């Protein structure tokens, strides 16, 4: 894993955006894996600004998001489909038909998991996966204890994750308790991974990732076994790291 240390959230967003823009410019048909949550929002803003100012085109780009809440349709402002449209897709020249997110309202969720896994494979896999990390080490919605062999699957969200995500909802009771997520094996199949980490609340997770062992009780630790991972982390996240 290569670590790029930056000053703060803004610099992390800037560096991450530059990284992605260069890839998109060099590989216009790239398959990007995308994340939601607070961490990549600044990066997405800069991608939009760059698209508007410099004309970087996403016409031929395909995207696959990591996860979606079960029970929320794309029209629900708390769904990840809605989030991605608002924070990124609506402001780029991307073809929305090429932006894929698991459906949280599919009639048969197990079939949806299989379909999503196959869809990624049919497109030749994810070239560059953007990741955030949970305080408990989750990646996607793969909570501690998830098998490293897991493909796209249904998860019960950990109470700590529900708490952390309640900030996006009116109250904690509204946060869905289940989600559909790319599995750890799905994420590990990406050719390249860009992990973004910002803030003191992620400092403990960053320490465990950097210095801890590879264990299913800390899902992000598997990234140590991936050949091509870049971490962009700010000072608050890496403080005290050796
Ligand atoms: C988002 C996702 C999650 C987040 C993680 C960090 O699609 O899969 O793993 O990346 O929960 O969230 P933030 O960025 O809000 O701290």
Question: Among the atoms of ligand 1, which is closest to the Cα of residue 138?
Answer: 9
Q: Please report where in the chains the tokens 């991974």 appear, as a residue.
A: 193
Backbone angles phi, psi at 234, to 5 degrees: -90, 170
Quick check: ipTM above 0.90?
yes
pLDDT of residue 166: 92
pLDDT of residue 138: 95
- Mean pLDDT, rounded, for 121-148: 97
* Spatial distance between the Cα atoms of 236 and 81, rounded to a whole number of angstroms: 30
Confidence of residue 89 (pLDDT cuts 50, 70, 90): very high
Confidence of residue 158 (pLDDT cuts 50, 70, 90): confident
For residue 38 and ligand 1, the question of a CB distance below 6 A is answered with: yes
State pLDDT tens for residues 15-50: 999 999 999 999 999 999 999 999 999 999 999 999
Instruction: Show Cβ contacts of residue 131 under 8 Å, excluding neighbours closer than 6 positions.
Output: 33, 35, 66, 139, 140, 187, 193, 194, 195, 196, 220
Confidence of residue 161 (pLDDT cuts 50, 70, 90): confident
For residue 35 and ligand 1, the question of a CB distance below 6 A is answered with: yes
For residue 37 and ligand 1, the question of a CB distance below 6 A is answered with: yes
For residue 139 and ligand 1, the question of a CB distance below 6 A is answered with: yes
* Spatial distance between the Cα atoms of 98 and 235, rounded to a whole number of angstroms: 36
Backbone angles phi, psi at 182, to 5 degrees: -55, 145
> Which residue's CA lies nearest to atom 10 of ligand 1?
132
Cα Rg, the chain, nearest whole Å: 17
Question: Is the sign of the CA dihedral 164, 169, 175, 176 positive or negative?
Answer: negative
pLDDT of residue 221: 98
Please report, for the chain, how many H helices and E strands are present, in that order: 8, 10
**3-state DSSP percent of the chain in helix, strand and coil, to 5:** 40, 20, 40
Angle made by CA atoms 37, 127, 162, in degrees to the nearest 5:
20
* Spatial distance between the Cα atoms of 17 and 12, rounded to a whole number of angstroms: 8
What class does CATH assign to 2-211+229-238?
alpha beta
H/E element holding 194? strand 192-197
| Statement: residue 61 has pLDDT above 90 | yes
pLDDT of residue 63: 99
| Statement: residue 242 has pLDDT above 90 | no
* From 9, 37, 182, 232, mutation site for ligand 1 pocket: most ligand atoms within 8 A of C-beta: 37
| Statement: residue 62 has pLDDT above 90 | yes
| Statement: residue 177 has pLDDT above 90 | yes
Indicate the DSSP class of residue 227.
S
| Statement: residue 76 has pLDDT above 90 | yes
Write out the catalytic residue numbers: 67, 136, 138, 143
Q: What's the token pair of residue 20?
A: 């992605």
H/E element holding 56? none
Q: Which of 64-73, 95-104, 165-174 has the lowest mean pLDDT?
A: 165-174
Q: Please report where in the chains the tokens 């005290």 appear, as a residue.
A: 240
Q: For the chain, what is the mean pLDDT?
A: 97
| Statement: residue 190 has pLDDT above 90 | yes
With contact defined as beta carbons under 8 Å apart, do 180 and 198 qualify? no
* Spatial distance between the Cα atoms of 97 and 136, rounded to a whole number of angstroms: 34
Question: Among the atoms of ligand 1, which is closest to the Cα of residue 140?
Answer: 8
* Spatial distance between the Cα atoms of 124 and 132, rounded to a whole number of angstroms: 23
């Amino acid at each position: 894993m290569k670590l790029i240390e930056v000053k703060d959230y803004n610099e992390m967003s800037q560096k991450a955006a530059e990284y992605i823009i260069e890839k998109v410019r060099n590989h216009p048909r790239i398959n990007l894996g995308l994340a939601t949550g607070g961490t990549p929002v600044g990066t997405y803003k800069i991608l939009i600004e760059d698209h508007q100012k410099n004309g970087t085109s996403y016409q031929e780009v395909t995207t696959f998001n990591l996860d979606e809440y079960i029970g929320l349709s794309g029209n629900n402002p708390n769904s990840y489909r809605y989030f991605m449209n608002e924070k990124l897709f609506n402001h780029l020249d991307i073809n929305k038909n090429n932006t894929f997110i698991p459906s949280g309202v599919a009639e048969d969720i197990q079939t949806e998991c299989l379909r999503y896994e196959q869809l990624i494979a049919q497109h030749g896999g994810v070239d560059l996966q953007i990741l955030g990390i949970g305080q408990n080490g989750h990646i996607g919605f793969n909570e501690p204890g998830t098998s490293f062999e897991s493909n796209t699957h249904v998860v019960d969200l950990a109470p700590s994750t529900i708490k952390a995500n309640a900030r996006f909802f009116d109250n904690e009771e509204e946060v869905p308790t289940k989600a559909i997520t790319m599995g750890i094996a799905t994420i590990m199949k990406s050719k390249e991974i860009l992990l973004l980490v910002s803030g003191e609340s992620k400092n403990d997770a960053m320490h465990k990732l950097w210095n801890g062992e590879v264990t299913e009780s800390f899902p992000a630790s598997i990234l140590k076994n991936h050949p091509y991972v870049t971490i962009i982390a700010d000072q608050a996240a890496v403080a005290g790291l050796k």
